[in-house]
Structure 1
């Protein structure tokens, strides 16, 4: 009886036998990341993208710039690595850093480098650090990050661009949203097929495949953390409870009008001031004399 080939390290979602799952690496990644992919799509930030605010868009673009700067730096450095070279052949068609620089310049102005870098949440830096870490420890794991980033953004970019453009009334010519456009890719569907075919041609051991699948899950989870951080940073917090209490307990200012006595009719302010009655009497006398003189 022929020995069955098994994965040395268990793959995600409890799939352990090579014979029980597809052989194509692209299909394996899609299958093993389905659950975490849905989790990323169902974050509050992504579900509310139809009404994205400018603050949220700027945080997203700043985070993407940080991620892609790390990814493209490492892919350029490792472009001759056998695990990555088939995917790097057409990397110039996918490169996002230049487009993101243009978007950040549009939204932040001349000092965009300082402002954009300072704006990103800690989860964004964690994602970039993970890319650099695996690039040095196990370069084959960049397959996972390339797949989740490039094919994900190529697939959903046009929809997100239209939503952001409508929500923020950005120019129809595309300024501020260059990231979501891939002008070097003439047909997204055919390009993705070619990219997957190159992935599937990679000669990886069963152990390496399992690691790539696990890293793809990690990439999605890092994305979830970034989306949650952006949502949290862009929400204006309500007044603190102590401030609410102070507002509720604030003593109202004293009324300026005279307070009616609890007993009897209202007291006239004229009768309450003899000095005022005397002044008015004198004024009346002066007016009477003046009128008499004018009549003469």
Structure 2
């Protein structure tokens, strides 16, 4: 019996379950995903990512994978933008990442390769499984998209700036005194230019999560889906590492320098060490939550 067959049966059983007065979904998902956070910390690819050992070709594979995940999730969210509950956490102008990922793919691969990179035929098995799971979850109950929206967007907002700085230094080989340090080229994914104050927006988002009109069974389903989203991402990251090990990565247009910046600078900074974590649903989410855990 599949994961979503079980979820569907729970959904049908939940019809007579009263709406919770205070569901506290944000904290429930944070607590519910703690175990899978720890499981994710053994990911070879994400350890490399945060240490600065990732190559441009590996990062290109990463954002290629993210393109299909985000484009699918955002298409599904848009299709349910008028859902009486789901609409409360839909912020397409502020949050959508599909176009940002297209900009970054163009930077690393060139505009002429975008049709190839964004064709469904180029989806890897783990990415295809992720996309199919998103669609299956939505067909059971659109509210399961809450779990995926939470794990992706809050992570992008929380740890994204830390990761953008890491990528500038260790992937793009820039230094803070370089003229191009403040450029968004190759890092549009981490730029939320339609959000003024990130902390205020995250507070608003969590408040919206905590007041969603859900019953106890739907709340449990959403927490289970958040765990599922992390598991799907573990598979994606393991797959990227396997593709890299097999030397089957698509080459980017930018050649990696032979000498890469040392990681000693950020290792010596306790704030960076505390912030460094592992990516599952989002590199940023784990980075930020590990920072909170160790603060």
TM over 0.5: yes
Displacement of 1:210 after TM fit? Answer: 0.7
CA contact (8 A) 1:121 1:230 kept: no
Q: Does residue 60 in structure 1 map to residue 70 in structure 2?
A: no
Residue matched to 1:208: 218
Higher relative contact order (CA 8 A, sep 6+): 2
1:34-183 residue pairs with structure 2 within 5 A? 34-49=34-49, 50-88=52-90, 90-109=91-110, 110-117=112-119, 120-169=123-172, 171-172=180-181, 173-183=183-193
TM-score (norm 1): 0.69
Question: What is the RMSD computed on CA atoms of the aligned residues?
Answer: 2.1
Looking at structure 2, the residues matched to 189 and 41 of structure 1 have their Cα atoms a distance apart, in angstroms, of 26
Task: Extract structure 1 runs of 4+ deviating beyond 4 A.
Answer: 116-120
Q: Distance in 2 between matches of 1:176 and 1:119?
A: 21
Distance 1:151 1:183 in 2: 15
Give the TM-score of the pair, scaled to structure 2.
Answer: 0.69
User: Which structure 1 residue ranges, 5 or more long, are not aligned?
Assistant: 1-7, 10-21, 238-296
Deviation at 1:23, TM superposition (A): 4.4
The range that moved more, 228-237 or 116-125, is 116-125
- Once the 2 structures are TM-superposed, how far is the Cα of residue 120 of structure 1 from its aligned partner? 4.2
Matched pairs, number:
218
Secondary structure, aligned partner of 1:183: coil
In 2, distance between residues paired with 1:99 and 1:24? 31
Does the CA contact (< 8 Å) of 1:59 and 1:230 recur in 2?
yes
Verify the 8 A CA contact 1:94 1:150 in the aligned structure 2. Answer: yes
2:241 aligned to which of 224, 231, 235: 231
Q: Out of 195, 199, 216, which is 2:205 matched to? A: 195
